[in-house]
Structure 1
């Protein structure tokens, strides 16, 4: 069997009884465990206005994780570009690259990563449609601002040079992220590496990757990998129990009406909580997830890698925690990452 590189996608979850500071401590512990286990890259997502997720600022989180580790790449999965000025993103990631050379990835997404009201606040009342329509231009602006030569900006009749930072030796690689064929087509057109959000629903992945590969217009070979939710435990039954808190969180997003904001449930709470959806629909949430023993999850991961033609899999460890377990660690998330990385590297 050929080795498969494992990455980690982290939402910085915050559970009942855990402060944000403790959740960040748990993330640093997870990152150190991942680094020691040979994980290739560790990406932080961008989400807003929810008590169960602390990943509101990928650049800040990246700095925290990069400082706590020594080897693996650290990046965004991703920065939601319509929420930010391209120059701000370019400066943030140029600075990160200068601080941690050769270890930074800039993953860029088009979605808001939040509800419409929070999106409006993030963009200071600017039109959502304008930001989304200009997304291809914004991506190219970020890359131009980060380049060693900078970018020329026309203001009135004069042209001005704008450079994100004059001291970074190299620009971090830019990845496009997506959950539809839009970003796949744009990534192929711009010759950028691309990741489809398979962990969202497990559908549309084959079509998106085929579109990306078949329309590739860049130099060399197109670069992509697979994202997937995973939980590892001693038994399949225990793994399904550990998956319940994240299962409830994801199921709540499918319920019509305003989203109920609360910390991530503990496993104890999730076991007792009423289902937010009919049983069949609730159970279907985990259909694309890899849930079971370490051997079962590794076998399923290898099958997915072969099916989609990739040699790298990014795992979002969606194992919950029991009440009374350490609040400055996520022991079951750590185990999931270490066990999967160890087995897929063999």
Structure 2
């Protein structure tokens, strides 16, 4: 199999001693590196009320990154639709597409991306209560597709039918992707003829089954005649295996804390993570998570990425570069995340 195209998923991590502004500067720098190296797309996640993650608002981040880059596609990975009114999402991405035509992806998920309290705060007066938002997810997806189109969607209010458009004169629409970690979004994407991505970097289980379900049930649409998908994976690449393992430790400790209900903090530096260590009772969980990551030297990482693409039948792999930083690293950059992108691109 030929080498797959490479893309980037960014959660805008915030590390110890780093401000939000510095984390955003690091993301802009990482995006410029990805653009220069020929990566296909750069997606930004939505997570809320987390000390180690600054990716709270994908449309704002997409605008920041698109303005800093020249050719790479920029999108959301993804907007958690139950948190937002569909019209607002459609308007945001219609404007982004108008500003950067042919470069915008709208990835949509139905998970909350946060804790219950924050979900209530997000949805107050917008997406409604949780059950309503999730139950209406398929209709909301259809509405967004229609509202971003030039014709808009016909809405009936008080006996009158009127077109509702996300923007006055759309000449193109952002590509819409459905994201998921279960078979729900796979079935919906197949039925609607939409591109689909399974959250392999987060779940790691059920990937093959979800992709097979999506492909086998796919119904061609006017915009997408064939199923379109790719793979996501956490990655750390360094010149030696020992250094790759060290750089993976800060994010691994953060993920263990998240999964075990420990207090969340900004991501530690490599030295802080080594001093803290991994509790023995959580070692099995950490190994279970990290075995699905690509943590390796350039040659081994390239082989693992090619093997993953072949295993799941995709021609694109989206990396979540999770390399931590050493103490004394520039706060407005993420040198080891940038190096992960460079080393892997050079090795493929």
TM-score of the two chains, using structure 1 as the length reference: 0.97
Partner of 2:215: 213
Write out per-residue CA displacement over residues 240-296 of structure 1, whole angstroms, 9 at most, x where no aligned residue.
11001110111112214xx52311111111111143543222222201000010111
Residue 336 of structure 1 pairs with residue 345 of structure 2 = no
Q: Is the 8 A contact 1:90 1:146 kept in 2?
A: yes
Q: Distance in 2 between matches of 1:171 and 1:282?
A: 41
Partner of 2:46: 46
Write out per-residue CA displacement over residues 146-203 of structure 1, whole angstroms, 9 at most, x where no aligned residue.
0000111111211121111113310111000000000000000000000000001311
Q: Is the 8 A contact 2:3 2:306 kept in 1?
A: no
Partner of 2:178: 176
Q: Distance in 2 between matches of 1:338 and 1:168?
A: 36
User: Could you tell me how far 1:341 is from its partner in structure 2?
Assistant: 2.5
Residue 267 of structure 1 pairs with residue 270 of structure 2 = yes
Residue 67 of structure 1 pairs with residue 58 of structure 2 = no
Counterpart among 300, 304, 322 of residue 304 in structure 2: 300
Write out per-residue CA displacement over residues 78-130 of structure 1, whole angstroms, 9 at most, x where no aligned residue.
00000000000000000000000100000000000001111111001732111
Q: Match of 2:202, SS?
A: helix
Partner of 2:251: 246
Q: Match of 2:120, SS?
A: helix
What is the RMSD of the two structures over their aligned residues, measured on CA atoms? 1.2
Q: Is the 8 A contact 1:6 1:314 kept in 2?
A: yes
Partner of 1:97: 97
Q: Distance in 2 between matches of 1:110 and 1:176?
A: 9
Partner of 1:190: 192
Q: Match of 2:259, SS?
A: coil
Q: Match of 1:278, SS?
A: helix
Q: Match of 2:14, SS?
A: coil
Partner of 1:320: 324
Residue 226 of structure 1 pairs with residue 231 of structure 2 = yes
Partner of 2:141: 139
Q: Match of 1:253, SS?
A: helix
Partner of 2:2: 2
User: Could you tell me how far 1:308 is from its partner in structure 2?
Assistant: 0.4
| Segment of structure 1 superposing worse, 275-284 or 112-121 | 275-284
Unaligned runs of 5+ in 2: none
Q: Distance in 1 between matches of 2:8 and 2:77?
A: 10
TM-score of the two chains, using structure 2 as the length reference: 0.96
Count of aligned residue pairs for this structure pair: 342
Q: Distance in 1 between matches of 2:346 and 2:108?
A: 29
Partner of 2:314: 310
Q: Match of 1:295, SS?
A: helix
Q: Match of 1:229, SS?
A: strand
Q: Distance in 1 between matches of 2:203 and 2:162?
A: 45
Partner of 1:199: 201
User: Could you tell me how far 1:2 is from its partner in structure 2?
Assistant: 1.5
Q: Match of 2:233, SS?
A: strand
Partner of 1:236: 241
Write out per-residue CA displacement over residues 283-312 of structure 1, whole angstroms, 9 at most, x where no aligned residue.
222010000101111100000000000000
Write out per-residue CA displacement over residues 14-43 of structure 1, whole angstroms, 9 at most, x where no aligned residue.
100111111111111100011000000000
Q: Distance in 2 between matches of 1:49 and 1:236?
A: 33
Partner of 2:78: 78
